[in-house]
Amino acid sequence: MLTDGPALLANNLTKAFSGALVLDALDLRLEQGENVVVIGPSGTGKSVLIKCLVRLMLPDAGDVLLFDKELYGLNAKDLNKLRRQIGFLFQSAALYDSMSVRENVGFPLRHSIYVKKEQSRRVDRILDRVGLTAAADKMPAQLSGGMRKRVGLARTLILEPKLIFYDEPTTGLDPITALEISRLIKSIQEEYGASSLIITHDKVCTRITADRVLVLKNGRFVANGTCDELAAVKDEWISAFFAL
Ligand SMILES: Nc1ncnc2c1ncn2[C@@H]1O[C@H](COP(=O)(O)OP(=O)(O)OP(=O)(O)O)[C@@H](O)[C@H]1O
Ligand SMILES: [Mg+2]
């Protein structure tokens, strides 16, 4: 898994729906340990991009290397192996409705090498980090939207992935929880050198988590830089995003 190369390298990613081009020959590089935030208007293809990068959707053209592995060339077994080292949090945190919070969060550990006691220790630790200890035995139907999101996040992080894809991790959360989740994303990077690709509409989350920001518009990345660099770009949409 560990290589010297980038965590992610995408070339020429292209995707159209019914003739409408959503991703227009995108190139993307994510270094190991780097957090990159992708912003852009609604409906511009951010979720499609992330789905292509984890092979939940196939692009019409292009290729993706994850830790030097050719994503679209992997057989099912190797793809599963790679996916265990990669985390993704979807826009709608899909939980298993018949499982408690604790069971949902521990689910990815079921085939791990950890004995039951170590599994539950890990679940307890991550539940504590996302502030859900008191809700551990609740069922998803009993949770608020923000709590569901945090369960999804805990489940994403439980295997300590080296590369994490977040699709709007703070949407629908109150400002304090959104801030805590953003800080958690940042601390995950700092603690174990994970790389993340974060899609968000949240300025605060962008400021806290981003080493670099990419702006997706009309299928292309139209800007690339730090928050401060982008705040100085003369573009109506970009300056509106970074304005206070
Ligand atoms: N499975 C699909 N079939 C057809 N069209 C799709 C499909 N998935 C996405 N699209 C279209 O691709 C475009 C980009 O969608 P996408 O969900 O990636 O937007 P987004 O940038 O994530 O928007 P938002 O910020 O609102 O989440 C939209 O026009 C959408 O209708
Ligand atoms: Mg989206």
Q: What is the rounded distance in angstroms from the CA atom of residue 194 to the CA atom of residue 208? A: 15
What are 113-129's pLDDT values in tens digits? 888 899 999 999 999 98
Is 1's pLDDT higher than 80? no
What are 177-213's pLDDT values in tens digits? 889 889 989 988 888 789 999 999 999 999 999 999 9
Protein residue closest via CA to atom 5 of ligand 1: 17
Q: What separation in angstroms does the CA of 69 have from each of 89, 118, 223?
A: 21, 30, 27
CA within 13 Å, CB half, 174: 4
Q: What is the rounded distance in angstroms from the CA atom of residue 39 to the CA atom of residue 112? A: 35
Choose which residue among 15, 42, 47, 201 to substitute to test ligand 1 binding: the one with the highest number of ligand atoms within 8 A of its C-beta. 47
Protein residue closest via CA to atom 8 of ligand 1: 48
Q: Is residue 131 very low, low, confident or very high in pLDDT (cuts 50, 70, 90)? A: confident
* CA 22 / ligand 1 centre spacing (Å): 8
Model pTM score: 0.91
* CA 37 / ligand 2 centre spacing (Å): 13
What are 18-72's pLDDT values in tens digits? 999 999 999 999 999 999 999 999 999 999 999 999 999 999 999 999 999 999 9
At what angle are helices 116-129 and 145-157 packed, to 10 degrees? 130
Closest among 164, 162, 238 to 198, alpha carbons compared:
164
Q: Report, as an integer, the average pLDDT of 74-95.
A: 88
CB 183 within 8 A of CB 152: no
Is any ligand 1 atom within 6 A of the Cβ of residue 44?
A: yes
Is any ligand 1 atom within 6 A of the Cβ of residue 22?
A: yes
* Confidence at residue 90, expressed as pLDDT on a 0 to 100 scale: 82
* Confidence at residue 191, expressed as pLDDT on a 0 to 100 scale: 83
* CA 222 / ligand 1 centre spacing (Å): 18
What are 88-108's pLDDT values in tens digits? 988 777 899 999 999 999 998
Domains of the chain: 8-242 (3.40.50.300)
* CA 43 / ligand 2 centre spacing (Å): 7
Of the listed ligands, the closest to the CA of 49 is: 1
Is 3's pLDDT higher than 70? no
Q: Is residue 2 very low, low, confident or very high in pLDDT (cuts 50, 70, 90)? A: low
What are 143-187's pLDDT values in tens digits? 988 888 889 989 998 988 999 999 999 988 889 888 988 998 998
Q: What is the rounded distance in angstroms from the CA atom of residue 158 to the CA atom of residue 62? A: 31
Protein residue closest via CA to atom 20 of ligand 1: 43
Q: Return the ligand 1 atom nearest residue 201 CA.
A: 25
